[in-house]
Structure 1
Amino acid sequence: MIRILSLIMLLFSSTAFSQTLLVLGDSLSAGYQMPADKSWPTLLPEILAQQSQPTTVINASISGDTSGNGLARLPQLLAQYKPDVVLIELGANDGLRGFAPKILRNNLSQIITLIKKVGSQPLLMQIEIPPNYGKRYTELFSNTYPNLSQSFNVPLLPFFLIDIIVKPQLMMKDGLHPTAEAQPLIAQFMAQQLKPYLNKESVQ
């Protein structure tokens, strides 16, 4: 009887405090040109479980999405999944298409506002673009993220390719997307970055 009760309590503890993380991203998180089960968001739950942070990860990333695309999809995603935490990994396609930084800033501002409005925790990821767009544009683009982080009091997570992009063997030939071999490394990196914001005791 005691063993049965212990098992029930174990199962309860592993599910009652489970939280939901929504990844709102683009091809960098969608598993570009690879099976979906190889993408880092798919690998993340097992690592988080090992950290005693049981988490359901919803990968709502779509290749090619801009910040505007993410903004348009967000209300339905929030209503459907009711996530505790939303990781915003958007902007790379805005930069690659040369969109004005103020467009990126406005879209990300609305995304953060919508997430906060429903009581979820927004996390903003720093995005970097290649330097061939010119120093002024690159700096304006890059500075958008820390400025928003400060303005909205939202955590800013480091770009998850910062240590990957310098290793050609972990990048696809386009120089923009991580390979399947890089996904476990990204998942480990993201688990550490997310750890402070996935506190199961704080989830109601």
Structure 2
Amino acid sequence: MLKTFLSYGFCIAVLQLLFACGPAPDEETRVIPNGETAAEKEADLAVEADLLIVAFGDSLYAGYGLNQDEGFAPELEKALKLMGRDVRVHNAGVSGDTTAAGLRRMDFVLDSLSKKPDLLILGLGGNDVLRGLKPSDTRANMEAMVQKLKERDIPVMLTGMLAPPNLGPEFTDEFNIVYPAVARKYDAALYPFFLDGLVGKPALLLPDGLHPSAEGIDVIVERIAPAVDSALSG
């Protein structure tokens, strides 16, 4: 599998998807017209369920370019309900977020919820690669977020990203071990590669060739849902 990831096609596809995670000009958090952040608005609309999952990530989580019910969070919620889970998946994805930005907003998002999450799915780091940030800083930020969750007694599942090989072996080797290393250190669940199943398949992307389409999200959810279900079971 790693040989496939390191192929030329993977390099191009991941670089494209990383640009999809890039921030809008002068934007660190999504803001909706009435002045509330998206996190505040979604917290207001949260529907009580037996289980609460928070999907905390960047534009790949936020559902960029999709209808409100087609993004990662709502589709994962549907899949888990079909598996018999009474669950609400709260969308805390923000386009453009780096791990540093995620660390800064994590407490706010958690404090805005109506109940403590039963699981937080953490998917950040793609924008760190895009901006050429040090993998050591990415790892430090990831560890700080996971530590916050541990202190709140909130289980966490990491969804990994891989750096394209054209950034050089030193960078890719250091970055690609971040997620398994953090998961191992904090005994957290790990889904190794969030975009598994989309590489080299332009039909699963939006017309911009960058973001996952609704069909692409379906592929992601089909693959990740069993791992999320397992993480919920402890």
TM-align CA RMSD: 2.0
Q: TM-score, normalised by structure 1?
A: 0.84
CA contact (8 A) 1:29 1:39 kept: yes
- Give the distance between the partners of 1:115 and 1:163, measured in 2 at CA: 29
SS of the aligned residue for 2:216 comes to helix
Note the C-alpha offset of 1:22: 0.4
Q: 1:159 to 1:76 in 2, by over 3 A?
A: same
Note the C-alpha offset of 1:174: 6.1
Mapped pair 1:35 → 2:67: yes
The partner residue of 1:105 within 126, 135, 139 is 139
- Correspondence for 2:122: 88
Unaligned 5+ segments in structure 2 are 1-46
Mapped pair 1:135 → 2:185: no
CA contact (8 A) 2:139 2:182 kept: yes
Count, aligned residues: 186
What are the superposed Cα offsets for residues 147-176 of structure 1, whole Å, 9 maximum, x if unpaired?
111111111112121211221211346655
The partner residue of 1:170 within 176, 190, 204 is 204
Q: TM-score, normalised by structure 2?
A: 0.74
Larger Cα Rg: Structure 1 or Structure 2? Answer: 1
Q: 1:169 to 1:16 in 2, by over 3 A?
A: closer
SS of the aligned residue for 1:38 comes to coil
Note the C-alpha offset of 1:57: 0.4
- Give the distance between the partners of 2:211 and 2:111, measured in 1 at CA: 30
1:37-186 equivalences under 5 Å are: 37-81=69-113, 82-172=116-206, 176-186=210-220
Q: Percent identity?
A: 33
- Give the distance between the partners of 1:45 and 1:180, measured in 2 at CA: 14
Note the C-alpha offset of 1:23: 0.7
Q: 1:178 to 1:129 in 2, by over 3 A?
A: farther
- Give the distance between the partners of 2:157 and 2:211, measured in 1 at CA: 22
Unaligned 5+ segments in structure 1 are 1-14
